[in-house]
Structure formats: C-alpha cells, structure tokens
Amino acid sequence: SAVISQKPSRDICQRGTSLTIQCQVDSQVTMMFWYRQQPGQSLTLIATANQGSEATYESGFVIDKFPISRPNLTFSTLTVSNMSPEDSSIYLCSVVETVTYGYTFGSGTRLTVV
C-alpha cells in the first residue's frame, strides 16, 4: 500500500497567520483528499485534489481559506489561512488504493491556534 509522509506533525500558530501542510506519497496517485478532524469529532472532507486541475471543495470549505496545491502526482499541500482558534484541529491527507479501494492516511498534523 502507499506510504504517505505528512508534515509538520504538529504546530502551534498565532491567530491571523497561515500554515502550509505537506503530503508526499511514495507512488503516483490520481486523487488526494484532505480531511479535518476537530477535537473529539469525526473526520470531515475538506476537498479533493486532482493533479492539473483546481481542487473540489466540500460545502462549508472555500479556496480562500484552504488553498490547495497539487503540482504532481505524488505531492500536495493544504494551507490553512488567516487562522483562528476555531481552526485548531487535526488535518489529514489521504489517497485511495487502486487495488483494495481502501484509503491510506497520513499521520496527521495537529494544529493549535492561539
């Protein structure tokens, strides 16, 4: 199965600043997914990122707040912009396995905004 390297693993940021999270996959994948997990909650899909096209955002998430880049088939970044304490969450990237159709997740970025 794919191996995903996600960084940073955690960060504490000041409100009003931005943080960029990176995910590197050890194989080429068509789609990458970005999820948010608020404290004590389940995962919510932010957007789906395809290489060479704009990301598709879910209801409640906008590109100005969560810009995504997908420069090639193995890499993607998610930026959390103009952060507020409400953005404190775990952010995870994910890819779907082409053989099993299960999803593999990065280890997550635990973000705290103060």
Partner 1 sequence: SQQGEEDPQALSIQEGENATMNCSYKTSINNLQWYRQNSGRGLVHLILIRSNEREKHSGRLRVTLDTSKKSSSLLITASRAADTASYFCATDAWGAQKLVFGQGTRLTINP
Closer Cβ to partner 1, 83 or 106, answer by number: 106
Closer Cβ to partner 1, 41 or 84, answer by number: 41
Piece in contact with partner 1 (CB under 8 A), picked from 16-24, 65-73, 75-83, 105-113: 105-113
Whole-Å CA distances, 105 to 16, 34, 79, 109: 28, 10, 18, 11
Read off the amino acid at residue 80.
Answer: V
Q: Which long-range contacts (CB under 8 A, 24 or more apart) does 40-46 make?
A: 43/92, 46/78, 46/91
Q: Does 103 bind partner 1 (CB under 8 A)?
A: yes
Q: Which residues bind partner 1 (CB under 8 A)?
A: 6, 31, 33, 37, 41-45, 48, 90, 92, 94, 100-108, 110
